[in-house]
A and B are shown apart, each in its own frame.
Chain A
Amino acid sequence: GEDVEQSLFLSVREGDSSVINCTYTDSSSTYLYWYKQEPGAGLQLLTYIFSNMDMKQDQRLTVLLNKKDKHLSLRIADTQTGDSAIYFCAESSTNAGKSTFGDGTTLTVKP
């Protein structure tokens, strides 16, 4: 079945850029998502990208998609302590609600 892989931990200093990487296996993936989960909270959709796009920028967030390598990344510019959370990569091929999630990357931002 489909699989989504992420590195588990990332630590950066406040003000630096963070880059969270994700790889997926389903070549029919149509939508790729980044979710943020703060402690004790639900899943917040940060941004998404269609598979026919290479890049999407939304304020401090930049998503890069390499469809050939099935690699997705999320770059957070000027990372703040409030960005500390778990970031999940997810993909879906047809039904936006039925997504396959990665394990999540715990981002720690040090002052």
Chain B
Amino acid sequence: EPEVTQTPSHQVTQMGQEVILRCVPISNHLYFYWYRQILGQKVEFLVSFYNNEISEKSEIFDDQFSVERPDGSNFTLKIRSTKLEDSAMYFCASSEDRMNTEAFFGQGTRLTVV
């Protein structure tokens, strides 16, 4: 069964450092998403990406964040100058099309900023 894979599963970084979270969406999917879940809080939408550009982003997704599809398979989330409050589980998701009922989620990357 096709799945969304995320690496690493756990990343620890020092405050102020840059991190890149990686995702490999399902191969025939065209829409890609990042969500985050701060421990004990809701899953929050960050950004959606289609046709090599951001299609929608939330208020959380400020200049500190960027996304990229550097090649035909990877979809990355870069966080510049990490802060303690960026510690969270980050989920990548992909869907076949915009109106598709199902977005497939990866297992998540737990980011810990120390």
Residues of A participating in the B interface, judged by any CB pair closer than 8 Å: 31, 35, 41-45, 48, 50, 88, 90, 94-104
Count, chain B residues at interface, CB 8 A:
27
Residues of B participating in the A interface, judged by any CB pair closer than 8 Å: 4, 31-33, 41-45, 48, 55-56, 91, 93-95, 98-108
> Given A42-B105, A42-B107, A42-B108: A97 and B48 within 8 A (CB)?
yes
SS class of chain B's interface: helix, strand, loop or mixed?
strand
Closest to B44 in A: A101
Can you identify 12 A-B contacts, CB atoms within 8 angstroms? A35-B105, A41-B108, A42-B4, A45-B103, A48-B101, A95-B48, A95-B56, A97-B94, A98-B48, A99-B103, A103-B41, A104-B43
SS class of chain A's interface: helix, strand, loop or mixed?
loop
Measured CB to CB, the closest approach of chain A to B33, in angstroms, equals 4
Measured CB to CB, the closest approach of chain B to A30, in angstroms, equals 9
Decide if B103 touches A97 in the complex (CB within 8 Å): yes
Decide if A96 touches B103 in the complex (CB within 8 Å): yes
Partner of B93, one of A41, A94, A97: A97
A97→B55 CA distance, assembly (Å): 11
Measured CB to CB, the closest approach of chain B to A92, in angstroms, equals 9
> Given A42-B107, A42-B108, A43-B91: A96 and B43 within 8 A (CB)?
no
Provide the residues of chain B in CB contact with A42, threshold 8 Å.
Answer: 4, 91, 105-108
A35→B103 CA distance, assembly (Å): 11
A88→B100 CA distance, assembly (Å): 19
The 3 closest A-B CB pairs, nearest first, are A101-B43, A42-B107, A43-B105
A97→B45 CA distance, assembly (Å): 9
Decide if A43 touches B102 in the complex (CB within 8 Å): no
Closest to B43 in A: A101
Closest to B99 in A: A96
Provide the residues of chain B in CB contact with A100, threshold 8 Å.
Answer: 45
Closest to A41 in B: B107
Measured CB to CB, the closest approach of chain A to B32, in angstroms, equals 8
Most-contacted residue by chain B among A43, A88, A94, A104 (CB, 10 A):
A43
A104→B104 CA distance, assembly (Å): 18
Decide if B44 touches A97 in the complex (CB within 8 Å): no
